[in-house]
């Protein structure tokens, strides 16, 4: 078939050279050549349309993730769903697991740590309910993905990570993607972040046996804390601090998070 086209082109060129100029422009032989050239010119565009770029493929998978894994399980907050559709999760996982970035489970991020399942990120974000001007503290930066999601919904996001390499690489990922309202610090979340306290919202993404008092103290009256709590079987707990400083808590669902380590461990 390709040979035929080349042969056709060859023969029409021969004919064209012997024809008067006027005919060259408007005659049927020229039209055939123009048509074939046009077809060739269009071919790359057709090829691009058929094979979407990796970014477009990830975007597509992100939309499916939100529908099938997150909305289908009851997360409703439209702002949470919107950021989950927008933040490129594939940029936060190691290259080796990038093709699985939108799968329905946690993924390894090195140093024995994991990035949470997308549904759990969305559920905890919805439960935390950060508002536009809130100052939020996260314990356990990990890959930086949860921090990225929260930073789009809050005013300022502060995140503490105990593994120095993870703190550095998360800060770099967030910086390179333009998340300017996030500050990552290497350190032990059990010590809180006194310089930046109080916080309107606090989220833990590593599980302590019980909620550290220092973090409850750094929560502003009227604020909220969300954490996986327990040893072995953990539960996501939502703590609400009333205007007069009293706390009430409720449990959401059983989960399995990495344990929150102490600096000496």
CB 158 within 8 A of CB 224: no
Catalytic residue among 11, 17, 18, 116: 116
Quick one: 173 or 239, whose CB is closer to ligand SAH?
Answer: 173
CB 29 within 8 A of CB 19: yes
C-alpha span between 112 and 116 (Å, rounded): 13
Q: Is the peptide bond before 186 cis (omega within 30 degrees of 0)?
A: no
Of residues 150 through 189, those in contact with ligand SAH by CB under 6 A are 160-163, 166, 188-189
Binding flag, residue 115, ligand SAH (CB under 6 A):
yes
C-alpha span between 8 and 28 (Å, rounded): 13
Q: What is the CA radius of gyration of the chain?
A: 28
- Region from 6-14, 124-132, 231-239, 257-265 binding ligand SAH, contact rule CB under 6 A: 257-265
Quick one: 81 or 122, whose CB is closer to ligand SAH?
Answer: 122
Total residues contacting ligand SAH by CB under 6 A comes to: 24
Mode of pairing for the β-strands spanning 234-241 and 219-229: antiparallel
Of residues 129 through 148, those in contact with ligand SAH by CB under 6 A are 139-140, 142-143, 145-146
Binding flag, residue 93, ligand SAH (CB under 6 A):
no
C-alpha span between 219 and 224 (Å, rounded): 7
Quick one: 29 or 185, whose CB is closer to ligand SAH?
Answer: 185
Tokens of 203: 């989220």
Binding site for ligand SAH (CB under 6 A): 109, 113-116, 139-140, 142-143, 145-146, 160-163, 166, 188-190, 205-206, 258, 260-261
**Residues annotated catalytic, as ranges:** 116
């Amino acid at each position: 078939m390709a040979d035929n086209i080349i042969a056709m082109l060859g023969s029409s060129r021969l004919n064209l050279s012997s024809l008067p100029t006027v005919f060259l422009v408007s005659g049927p032989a020229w039209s055939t050549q123009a048509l074939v050239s046009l077809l060739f010119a269009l071919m790359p565009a057709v090829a691009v349309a058929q094979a979407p770029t990796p970014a477009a493929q990830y975007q597509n998978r992100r939309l499916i993730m939100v529908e099938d894994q997150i909305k289908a399980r009851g997360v409703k907050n439209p702002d949470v769903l919107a950021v989950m559709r927008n933040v490129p999760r594939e940029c936060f996982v190691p290259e080796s697991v990038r093709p699985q970035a939108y799968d329905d489970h946690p993924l390894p991020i090195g140093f024995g740590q994991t990035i949470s399942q997308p549904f759990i990120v969305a559920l905890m974000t919805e439960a935390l309910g950060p508002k536009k001007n809130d100052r939020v503290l996260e314990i356990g930066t990990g890959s930086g993905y949860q921090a990225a999601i929260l930073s789009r919904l809050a005013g300022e996001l502060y995140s503490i990570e105990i593994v120095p390499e993870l703190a550095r690489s998360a800060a770099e990922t967030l910086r390179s993607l333009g998340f300017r309202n996030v500050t990552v610090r290497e350190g032990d979340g059990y010590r809180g972040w006194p310089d930046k306290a109080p916080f309107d919202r606090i989220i833990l993404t590593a599980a302590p046996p019980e909620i550290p008092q220092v973090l409850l103290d750094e929560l502003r009256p009227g604020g909220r804390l969300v954490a996986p709590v327990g040893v072995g079987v953990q539960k996501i707990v939502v703590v609400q601090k009333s205007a007069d400083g009293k706390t009430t808590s409720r449990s959401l669902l059983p989960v399995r998070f990495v344990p929150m380590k102490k600096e000496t461990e």
